């Protein structure tokens, strides 16, 4: 690991991360890559960054990255609209990953300050952050590409499976699950910021582990809730049951509720849309603590010899009218 130098100025931390100084304006980047200023700005916005105006806000790496994306357009692989969509997906994913990464290494930065026996001031914090940035960048980039390729392979496999069963490669039949923490608002008022942050992180991590074990996919986490999908309802039930076991049955964790709904969903940019998504979320509002509630479509897909379902009283569900949810358990 590089030696710690508390005298490192703040701008060197940025250079260590970005790989260069900000010396280019937006029009410079556009001219270097032979595209209009508006197209360059459109791609920059799609990546999730604010427009800097006419200031020197870009590095040579920014220009090279834009050029790499435009080679796909020039080669006819994608058009500009698809390039913008790809940029938006990458930007949203990397923004969340970056926030998580910085949060995760904060404790390590504090440990480095203690190791060198210095007072934890702003200069020391910046120096520690630069040490970690220089040490993690190379290995983490390698890991990032590896994981991306593995997920790309898995996604391609799912598309092939969909191709064999349907003409529309954006729509597929899935079981959607929605798990959320019971009374999260009241709970968050009782805990300090650090504890509530640790709780949410543990909740998301345990849910992600269970979903992966049951061959499902986490679509997104929204603080106190997790949206996931499984290709079959039995896998979705096992996922829901696993989440309840590792969270709701743990006396150190809050209670959870899980709703499952099945049907046709549209898959776009890593997200899923459709009635089952909304239904799964609505069902958690009627579920008891540490229980699984399903819709009629999911109940019809579960083998009767393995599962027992029971209809609950009909009730209005926003967006769906009067609905009869069902409880479910294994025989």
Domain boundaries, the chain: 10-160, 168-330
d(CA 40, CA 54): 13
pLDDT tens-digit series, residues 45-99: 888 888 888 888 898 989 998 898 888 888 888 888 888 888 888 887 888 788 7
pLDDT tens-digit series, residues 159-216: 665 555 555 556 789 999 999 998 887 777 777 777 787 788 889 889 999 999 998 9
**Look-up of token digits 């509002």:** 285
Please tell me the predicted confidence (pLDDT) of residue 158.
Answer: 59
pTM for the whole structure: 0.64
pLDDT over 90, % of the chain: 33
Q: Tell me the three state secondary structure of residue 265.
A: strand
Cα angle, residue 125 at apex, residues 52 and 193 outer, rounded to 5°: 85
Give me the helices (H) in the chain, please.
10-18, 26-33, 37-46, 60-74, 80-115, 122-165, 184-190, 193-213, 233-243, 275-283, 296-301
CA 317 to chain CA centroid, Å, is: 27
- Superfamily, domain 168-330: Nucleotide cyclase, GGDEF domain (3.30.70.1230)
Least confident of 1-5, 85-89, 146-150, 227-231: 1-5
What are the C-alpha distances in Å from 308 to residues 248, 275, 292, 324?
21, 24, 12, 16
What are the C-alpha distances in Å from 277 to residues 148, 179, 225, 320?
25, 12, 13, 12
| Terminal alpha carbon distance of the chain | 56
More confident position, 42 or 18: 42
Q: Tell me the three state secondary structure of residue 107.
A: helix
Please tell me the predicted confidence (pLDDT) of residue 267.
Answer: 81
d(CA 227, CA 267): 13
Backbone phi and psi for residue 13, each to the nearest 5 degrees, phi listed first: -65, -45
d(CA 82, CA 73): 9
Q: How many CA atoms lie within 13 A of 188 on its CB side?
A: 10
CB 103 within 8 A of CB 198: no
- Spatial neighbors of 241 by CB under 8 A, at least 6 apart, are 292
């Amino acid at each position: 690991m590089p030696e710690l130098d508390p005298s490192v100025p703040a701008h060197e931390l940025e250079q260590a991360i970005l790989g260069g100084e900000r010396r280019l304006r937006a029009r410079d980047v556009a001219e270097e890559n032979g595209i209009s200023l508006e197209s360059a700005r459109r791609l920059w916005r799609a990546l999730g960054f604010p427009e800097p105006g006419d200031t020197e806000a870009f590095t040579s790496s920014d220009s090279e990255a834009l050029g790499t994306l435009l080679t796909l357009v020039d080669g006819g692989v994608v058009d500009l609209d698809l390039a913008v969509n790809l940029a938006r997906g990458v930007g949203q994913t990397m923004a969340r990953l970056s926030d998580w990464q910085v949060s995760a290494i904060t404790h390590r930065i504090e440990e480095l300050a203690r190791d060198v026996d210095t007072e934890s001031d702003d200069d020391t914090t910046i120096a520690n952050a630069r040490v970690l940035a220089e040490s993690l960048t190379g290995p983490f980039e390698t890991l990032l590409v590896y994981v991306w390729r593995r997920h790309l392979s898995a996604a391609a496999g799912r598309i092939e499976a969909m191709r064999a069963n349907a003409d529309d490669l954006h729509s597929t039949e899935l079981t959607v699950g929605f798990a959320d923490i019971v009374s999260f608002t009241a709970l968050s008022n009782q805990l300090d910021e650090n504890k509530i942050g640790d709780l949410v992180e543990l909740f998301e991590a345990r849910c992600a582990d269970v979903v992966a074990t049951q061959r499902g996919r986490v679509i997104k986490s929204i603080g106190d809730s997790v949206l996931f999908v499984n290709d079959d309802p039995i896998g979705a039930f096992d996922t829901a049951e696993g989440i309840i076991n590792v969270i709701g049955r743990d006396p150190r964790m809050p209670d959870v509720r899980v709703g499952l709904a099945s049907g046709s969903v549209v898959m776009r940019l890593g997200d899923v849309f459709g009635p089952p998504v909304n239904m799964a979320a609505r069902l958690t509002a009627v579920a008891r603590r540490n229980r699984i509630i399903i819709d009629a479509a999911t109940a019809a897909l579960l083998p009767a010899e393995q599962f027992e379902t029971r209809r609950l009283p009909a009730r209005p569900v926003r967006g769906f009218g009067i609905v009869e949810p069902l409880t479910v358990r294994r025989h």
